[in-house]
Amino acid sequence: MSTIAAGPSPDATIELVNASRWYGNIVAVNDISFALGPGITGLLGPNGAGKSTILHMLSGFLKPSNGDVRILGQPAWQNVALYHQLGLVPEREAVYSFLTGTEFVELSARLHRLPDPAGAARKAIAAVEMGFAADRATGGYSKGMKQRIKVAAALVHDPEVLLLDEPFNGADPRQRIQMMALFRSLAAEGRTLVFSSHILEEVERLAENVLVIVAGRLAASGDFREIRKLMTDRPHTFTLRTSDNRKVASTLIGDPSVFGVELDDDRVTVRTNQFAAFTSSISRLAQAGGITLYELRPTDESLESVFSYLVNR
Amino acid sequence: MSSVVFQLTMRQLLGRGRTLLMLALSLVPLLLAVIVRLASPADYDHQDFVANAIYSSFVVTLILPLVALVYGTAVLGAEIEDGTAVYVLSKPIPRVQIVLAKLAASWLATSVTVGGCALLAALVGIAGASDDGMLLGFTVGIVLGALAYSALFVFLSVLTSRALIAGLAYVFIWEGLINGLFDGTRLLSVRHYTLGIADAFTTVSDRVFEAELSPTTAVVAMALLAGLATWGAVRRLQRFEIGETT
């Protein structure tokens, strides 16, 4: 299904309806509603945006201050039976350091009262390609290895819904690729995966659907390409240093992709709302006018500025 | 009770340096008994030494509550603190089973460590003389006292992240100071429950040892406290929330 709707949906595996969560006077999540079906959804937002709060509410570890949070049609809060169908990979690195990888995953299987805990653990460990270190104590694992063994423990009971809080933290590029392939195959089997990340590229590479969370609010949701386009076509500001700033300024003012030019002593500041058009036209204009470009620098490319644009648009 | 959680918790408790430390602390009365026996003072009274010096003043007043505090706050509180509790709490296990398993682990570790070491010290102290039921009485008292302390400290550990401080305040301020000033407060003292239960088994003269609470009062009050603390821990864990930093 992989759909995101603004309100409740009968086919949704995960639903938030006007969910809010506050701590005293601090609002961590503010009146968020969405419904998700099977597939991979990325929760994207800067650190402290409220992604973990949403995941904690989904996993039944935080009571919504207001609104409803439902998984597979059941309330998430105070519903331990839900964990039969729910797997959780927490953000914190901590694992039982005295257990080996196999013991850690088997523990999860035994807590789920699976009929063959050893067999289920072997299968889950193979899925995350951790067989080579399964007999070593997890206390000696690297951060990326801990992430993978945590994923194996969360997968051991074959859950329908998998919640992952920053699952790629500490993973090296090869481990990322491997885990992404695993998550895609799990989604292809009809499971619902929700993962959080503050890294745009991770979400871009993996998620079919994206929920952009900024300051506790749902800033944007839907297909990643649409959101990416929104992010790309927002107003951008560039500074240029060239061999002839005055000529560049007078040329750019006539360019349809530009809506503002400012000429300073040693630089030109340009504002555009067509990122792609501007970046291709500037090199063409420079070449045609015989101007040398010393520097072309976007001034507002931080992820936070992208997110705040989405919130304020 | 979840046997998987119990086994995991025992492994956590026993596999760490804290167990050695608790064992060392619990062996101090044995060391004391050996020193006193070797010194053989002229006025040595076997029963008085065991009842008062070993059990009442040392084991029941200091070692039992301290060891129970360390184990009781570690079995669940340490997991909540370091973030590993989520691996147990995110499983389809009723919270009551988790609390009972944690409580059983703390109770067993405290009983065996303190009760065993205290019994060894008492055997050295009594040196073959008649104990008039003291060894049995104090061992039963320590085992039941370990249960009450464990229930109380497990409850504190899910109630506050400063359970160790709260527990120390209970042991040293409430039991150590206030109980001595106001008689009525002894009804809320695990130390006095332990001594009251021990008294039920002993036939030594009141000159040697006499508890402040009657055995019946001690048993009823202890059962109430342990039951309420366990119920409170279960209720608290059912409403347990992971904070932003957890």
Closest C-alpha among A59, A71, A65 to residue A28? A65
- Stated pTM of the model: 0.81
pLDDT at A119 over 90: yes
What sign does the dihedral A217-A222-A228-A231 (CA atoms) show? Answer: negative
Identity of the residue in B12, B15, B93 whose CB atom sits nearest the CB atom of A111: B93
Position A46 scores a pLDDT of: 78
Contact B83 A153 (CB under 8 A): no
Phi-psi region of A256 (alpha: psi -120 to 50; beta: other; left: phi over 0): alpha
Q: How far is residue A247's CA from residue B180's CA, in Å, rounded to a whole number? A: 92
Contact A96 B84 (CB under 8 A): yes
3-state secondary structure of A23: strand
- What is the CB-side half-sphere exposure of residue A164 using CA atoms within 13 A? 33
Residue B94 structure tokens: 């009723």
Beta carbons within 8 Å of B95's beta carbon, 6+ residues apart: A80, B89, B234, B237, B238, B240
Query: Do residues B61 and B29 make contact, with C-beta atoms less than 8 angstroms apart?
Result: no
Q: What is the 3-state secondary structure (H, E, C) of B39-89?
A: HCCCCCCHHHHHHHHHHHHHHHHHHHHHHHHHHHHHHHHHHHHHCCHHHHH
Position A183 scores a pLDDT of: 92
Residue A10 structure tokens: 């009968």
Q: How far is residue B45's CA from residue B129's CA, in Å, rounded to a whole number? A: 10
Contact A61 B242 (CB under 8 A): yes
pLDDT tens, residue by residue, A43-89: 888 778 888 899 999 999 999 999 999 999 899 998 999 999 999 99
pLDDT at A120 over 90: yes
pLDDT tens, residue by residue, A219-261: 877 776 677 666 666 677 888 888 888 888 888 888 888 888 8
DSSP count for chain B of H helices, then E strands? 14, 0
Position A302 scores a pLDDT of: 56
Give the residue extent of every domain in chain B: 2-39+46-238
- Interface membership of B130 toward A (CB under 8 Å): no
Digitized pLDDT (tens) for each residue of chain B, 246 residues in all: 889 999 999 998 887 688 889 999 999 999 988 888 888 777 777 788 888 888 888 899 999 999 999 999 999 988 888 889 999 999 999 999 999 999 999 999 999 999 999 999 999 888 878 888 889 999 999 999 999 999 999 999 999 889 999 999 999 999 888 887 887 788 889 999 999 999 888 877 777 777 788 889 999 999 999 999 999 999 999 988 886 433
Name beta bridge partners: A237: A271
- Interface membership of A81 toward B (CB under 8 Å): yes
Q: What is the 3-state secondary structure (H, E, C) of B127-147?
A: CCCCCCCHHHHHHHHHHHHHH
Task: Please tell me what DSSP assigns to residue A140.
Answer: G
Identity of the residue in A53, A78, A112 whose CB atom sits nearest the CB atom of B91: A112
What is the count of residue pairs from A and B with beta carbons less than 8 Å apart?
69
Q: Calculate the CA dihedral of residues B96, B100, B106, B112 and round it to 10 degrees.
A: 180
- Interface membership of B91 toward A (CB under 8 Å): yes
pLDDT tens, residue by residue, A175-226: 888 889 999 999 999 999 999 887 777 887 888 888 888 888 888 777 766 7
- What is the CB-side half-sphere exposure of residue A189 using CA atoms within 13 A? 12
Q: How far is CA B242 from CA A37, A54, A61, B89, in A?
A: 25, 12, 6, 10
Q: How far is residue B95's CA from residue B102's CA, in Å, rounded to a whole number? A: 11
Q: How far is residue B62's CA from residue B191's CA, in Å, rounded to a whole number? A: 9
Position B246 scores a pLDDT of: 36
- Interface membership of A118 toward B (CB under 8 Å): no
Closest C-alpha among B124, B94, B72 to residue B5? B94
Q: Chain B residue with minimal CA distance to A51?
A: B244
Task: Please tell me what DSSP assigns to residue A99.
Answer: S
- Interface membership of B94 toward A (CB under 8 Å): yes
pLDDT at A308 over 70: no
Contact A63 B241 (CB under 8 A): yes
Instruction: Extract long-range pairs of B131-134: CB within 8 Å, 24+ residues apart.
Output: B131/B46, B131/B47, B131/B50, B132/B47, B132/B202, B132/B203, B132/B204, B133/B201, B133/B202, B133/B203, B133/B204, B134/B47, B134/B50, B134/B51, B134/B55, B134/B198, B134/B201, B134/B202, B134/B204, B134/B209
Helices (H), A61-172: 101-111, 117-127, 143-155
Closest C-alpha among A313, A232, A312, A305 to residue A46? A305
Contacts of residue A107 in chain B, CB cutoff 8 Å? 4, 8, 87
3-state secondary structure of A196: strand
- Interface membership of A86 toward B (CB under 8 Å): yes
- Interface membership of A59 toward B (CB under 8 Å): yes
Query: Do residues A291 and A243 make contact, with C-beta atoms less than 8 angstroms apart?
Result: yes
Q: How far is residue A219's CA from residue A263's CA, in Å, rounded to a whole number? A: 34
pLDDT at A301 over 60: no
- Interface membership of B246 toward A (CB under 8 Å): yes
Closest C-alpha among B55, B65, B53 to residue B172? B65
pLDDT tens, residue by residue, A261-287: 888 878 899 888 777 778 778 888 888
Q: How far is residue A87's CA from residue A157's CA, in Å, rounded to a whole number? A: 8
Q: What are the backbone dihedrals phi and psi of residue A269, each rounded to the nearest 5 degrees, phi first?
A: -105, 125
3-state secondary structure of A181: helix
Q: What is the DSSP string of A65-80?
A: SEEEEEETTEESTT-G
Position A309 scores a pLDDT of: 67
Position B143 scores a pLDDT of: 95
Q: How far is residue B119's CA from residue B54's CA, in Å, rounded to a whole number? A: 10
